[in-house]
Amino acid sequence: MTERQKLWAKSRYLRSEMRGIGPMITGSVVLRHIKCGKPNCRCTRGYLHFMCQVTHKENGKTKTVCVDKKKHAQALFWSRNYKLFKKLLKEHTEVNLALLRSDKKRKEEKGRERKMRKTSEEELSELKKILEREFPSLKKTITRNLSCLIFAFVLLLRTYRGWYGRLTLSGIARCFPARATSKNRYKRLTRFLDNENFKMIN
């Protein structure tokens, strides 16, 4: 799975998580102990009343809603849902921004690949012309395959494997300038090297 596919998968997961969140409320749930103000109430003797309140903004002003005793847990749960939703939304935004950046990055990479492919094609074409000029008696198919083989050698020598002399048929086949799979490029290379004209004469 590519990095882009991982981002899309995470984006879908976060959306499903947000859809699964139940009712929610904005604002803060405040639990307080207060006095009611009645002179004969027990709160005057230190047994304060327990109260749940929800504070929220409305038209730029802070408003408070007192919650019934039976709905304290519900208010806390809905407030927790809103906080969870905000957290998931933030993650979802970060993932989507990364996807937007990856689109731009992918376009830049494709541009570099096109430029490199064009340069490689020009180098390969120049190599074919040199072989045709220096060895006019060679068949066109041999000239084409030989130029591809030389090009693959040069390309491989530019990598760290080439620096350390790690030249293998599979490595050469991977650098072979042909629009085919690695397996097909390897077959083409071995067929070319098995040519009778390349065998040593005693």
| pLDDT at position 114 | 67
| pLDDT at position 5 | 82
| Domain ranges (residues) in the chain | 3-106, 135-196
pLDDT digits (tens, 9 = 90+) for 171-196: 777 777 777 777 887 887 787 777 66
Q: What is the pTM of this model?
A: 0.47
Q: Which residues contact 89 (CB under 8 A, 6 or more apart)?
A: 18
CA distance 101 to 95: 10
Beta-carbon count within 10 A of 28 CB: 13
CA distance 185 to 193: 12
- Selected residue with higher pLDDT from 4 and 1: 4
CA distance 190 to 90: 55
CA distance 9 to 125: 43
| pLDDT at position 87 | 93
Average confidence (pLDDT) over 47-70 = 84
pLDDT digits (tens, 9 = 90+) for 89-136: 999 999 998 888 766 666 666 666 666 666 677 777 888 888 888 888
Whether the CB-CB separation of 167 and 152 falls below 8 Å is answered with no
